[in-house]
Homo-oligomer: A and B are copies of this chain.
């Protein structure tokens, strides 16, 4: 078949292989480089030292995937095999900083592989591309012959991990840094303080971590270890110390900094709290000067995130601490501060001075955007599309997180198609340059170290592609095709998004026999956005995160493929697809009996029993519709009306999960009624 006869997705597949992010430019040529057991790597040029362990890790991953026993142990500058198979050349040492050159050129011929980059950080990106190119046939492993010229579209490609609400041990952070590096992300935004926990050791103010963390915090050695680990992968670490709101855990040890008299206790529930630092108290600034000075020395990146979100800007409420504090109210009157937003801007302008003194650039959530602020700061957009546009027009740099809230369990394509700089954005070229990139945000109300990876991966790989690849790369089907392969490759880095699924199912079933349970959970997703909090008032920082809702994964693949098959069948009536649909529906229709037996032994599963019964009914409707469609019969009006009622009911969440095949079955029913 000629390329011109292929569908858009097939064309993409032929050129994008299994690469994610898709490179800027890829030129295919004939032949392949066959991988052999004597494969050797040589590094030349003037790279930073980080290239040697990075090349060694790449070689070990290649060895792990292929089972080949390569002769090199630790690659060093002394390795200069005359005929090295992979030659890496870097012109100069890369700096782990915003805007560093990350370009690379990868050339694969049947004889050699050359990876050329301005910096070792570019070379790191190229090594990940090379690993993704590994292919196999009956004769062995090979790399297809290509030339790839690659560079990122945006300089800031981040992942926020919130360790305040649920603490994440160092090894969880490290495995996610490995995942980020695999898809060429370059910023870990480490959200370190929250109402629920203060997670960094302070030697100057030790009561911060001693009283504010329940004992779950990082020592400064841990922090330095993570920064080194990230820098070895070309990833910046931007810490966030959220002030003046979200600060309860600071006040447990230092109540006098607050806007209300103490004592304060660590918060266990979720939602916006009223506790806030007192912006009228000079001791607060002296404290922050000292503390930020300590942290400025600990975190080398010039950018320093001060949060600034969700302080009292909305409708006034007497219980809010600023509004209820007569001293603060008097201060505002005296200084002509019109409202709380202006009060926060007053606070932030003092923070800018402190940070500037410590050689840091302030970054904060969009609430810090205020006409009075200096243009050196960076705005992180999270609520509305307009924030970035108005920030850019006002001359502020910004990054996008709205639409990348991966904690809200939305499907991959929703995030994938969310562009920081959509073609229709009404900004001039100069203003567009102020948009630095974006960040996926992993807020941790509803995740533990056990299931956090399943919320981050693989969806974040698609966000990474949005931030790296050219704007025109947006074929959703092709993205899903590649995502499946990337997801499995991420497992070699220790990420648990795949393997903890069955582990959690085994615990739920109390048995290794999880077949029927898996069939069911494959079809459900947690409810979206903030709905879990309204459905379940018992969700706290110590609530169990081990139920079906915590096990079920975002963008459930089996359900998604079913919906896609329905739509393909209704479009083209393909017989193979009909058979696949029939088999799926039959399996689901008959699943309940076996699942009931599991539920009977596992009371933790009792909550999903109604939905399991519903699945039986929905599948029955699907089978009847399918049968009518194949026989070109029309279902009678009564049964259609009944079925519609059942399906409408089936869309309602049960046990905080949704059944994700109902809309597909509705489509079948709809078609069978015509």
Contacts and interface: CB of A to CB of B under 8 A. Distances in A.
A136 interface: yes
A582 interface: no
B488 A63 contact: no
A64 to B, nearest CB: 4
A69 B171 contact: no
A542 interface: yes
Contact of A488 (B137, B506, B544): B506
B74 A214 contact: yes
Contacts of A64: 507, 544-546
Nearest to A488: B506
A600 B268 CA distance: 54
A65 interface: yes
A359 interface: no
Contacts of A507: 64-65, 488, 491-492
B138 A546 contact: no
Interface stretch (A84-92, A99-107, A289-297, A497-505): A497-505
A136 B510 contact: yes
A480 interface: no
B65 A603 contact: no
A203 to B, nearest CB: 14
Nearest to A508: B67
Contact of A498 (B503, B511, B541, B603): B503
| Chain A interface bracket (under 10, 10 to 19, 20 to 34, 35 or more) | 35 or more
A141 interface: yes
A649 interface: no
**Among A66, A67, A139, A503: residue with most chain B CB under 10 A:** A67
A409 interface: no
Interface string A475-502: 0000000001000100110101011101
A432 interface: no
A452 to B, nearest CB: 13
A546 B500 contact: no
A219 interface: yes
A450 B543 CA distance: 30
Contacts of A492: 507
A141 B68 contact: no
A196 B393 CA distance: 60
A370 to B, nearest CB: 38
Given A64-B507, A66-B603, A221-B219, A512 B488 contact: yes
A542 B60 contact: yes
A74 B214 CA distance: 8
Contacts of A314: none
A136 B602 contact: yes
A214 B74 CA distance: 8
Nearest to A225: B219
A386 interface: no
Contact of A67 (B219, B512, B546): B546
A573 interface: no
Interface string A155-175: 000000000000001110000
Contacts of A219: 221
B603 A140 contact: yes
Interface string A631-672: 000000000000000000000000000000000000000000
A185 B495 CA distance: 29
Interface string A510-541: 11100000000000000000000000001011
Interface string A38-77: 0000000000000001000000100111111100111000
Contacts of A506: 488, 491, 498
Given A138-B600, A488-B512, A215 B547 contact: no
Contacts of A545: 64
Given A64-B507, A503-B498, A507-B488, A543 B69 contact: yes
Contact of A544 (B63, B136, B602, B603): B63
A616 to B, nearest CB: 20
A317 interface: no
Interface in A277-297: none
A136 B449 CA distance: 27
B73 A268 contact: yes
A346 B46 CA distance: 52
Given A74-B214, A506-B491, A544 B67 contact: yes
A601 interface: yes
**Among A64, A68, A140: residue with most chain B CB under 10 A:** A64
A136 B601 contact: yes
Contacts of A496: 499
A604 interface: yes
**Among A60, A68, A503: residue with most chain B CB under 10 A:** A503
Contacts of A68: 544
Contacts of A66: 544, 603-604
A63 to B, nearest CB: 4
A306 to B, nearest CB: 29
Contacts of A169: 171
Nearest to A487: B512
B67 A604 contact: yes
Contacts of A488: 506-507, 510-512
Nearest to A607: B67
A148 to B, nearest CB: 22
Given A171-B169, A219-B221, A136 B603 contact: yes
Contacts of A171: 169-171
B604 A65 contact: yes
A586 B544 CA distance: 43
Given A137-B601, A488-B507, 15 more contacts: A63-B543, A64-B507, A64-B546, A65-B507, A65-B546, A65-B604, A136-B603, A137-B600, A139-B603, A140-B603, A170-B170, A171-B171, A221-B221, A488-B510, A488-B512
27 contacts: A60-B542, A64-B507, A64-B545, A64-B546, A66-B603, A67-B544, A67-B546, A67-B607, A69-B540, A69-B543, A69-B544, A73-B268, A136-B601, A136-B603, A137-B600, A137-B601, A138-B600, A138-B603, A139-B603, A169-B171, A171-B171, A221-B221, A488-B506, A498-B503, A498-B506, A499-B500, A499-B502
